[in-house]
Amino acid sequence: MVRYLASLNLSRVVLWSYLCWYLAIVSLYFNASLALWFSSVGMSLIIGTALVLSTTSSARRPQGWTVFRLYLMPFCVSSYSALTVGKKFILIFPPRWSENAIGFSACGAFVLLHLGSKYVNRVRIDRAGGV
C-alpha cells in the first residue's frame, strides 16, 4: 500500500482527492432514499458504458481500474447532485465553512498520506542500498 501511494502521479492524487471530497460531503448530506441511489446507479450504468465504449478501440482495451473509474465517476456526480440540490451549494462547495473545512481536511489528509508514503518509500530504498 505504501508503494502504491508513493507512486501516485499528480493526476491520480487529484482523482483520489476528488473521492475524498465526495465521501466527506456525502457523509454530511447522506440520504437513505433508495430512489436516489438506484437512479445514480442507473446513470452510472448508462454513462459509464458510453465512456467505456468511447475509450475502447480494437487495438487497446481499457484496464480494469480505468473501467471501474469510468463507472464510478458518473455515479458520484449523479448522487452528489441529487444529495446537494436545493441546499445552497456554490458549485461543489457547501454553504457552511465548517462543512468545507471537513472536505478540505479529507483532501489534505490524503495528500499528507501520499507525501508520507513517498518519504517512507524513499527511506526504505535508502536503507536497502538505494537505487
- Which one is predicted more confidently, 106 or 64? 106
* Cα distance between the two ends of the chain: 20
Does the pLDDT value for residue 130 go beyond 60? no
- Percentage of the chain surpassing pLDDT 90? 81
Instruction: Report pLDDT for 123.
Output: 83
| Long-range CB contacts for residues 93-97, cutoff 8 Å, separation at least 24 | 94/25, 94/28, 94/29
Mean pLDDT of 84-109: 97
Q: Where are the domains of the chain?
A: 2-127
Does the pLDDT value for residue 79 go beyond 80? yes
Q: Which residues pair with 90 in a beta bridge?
A: 93
User: What distance in Å separates the CA atoms of residue 5 and residue 110, rounded to the nearest whole number?
Assistant: 10
> Do 108 and 22 touch, CB atoms closer than 8 A?
no
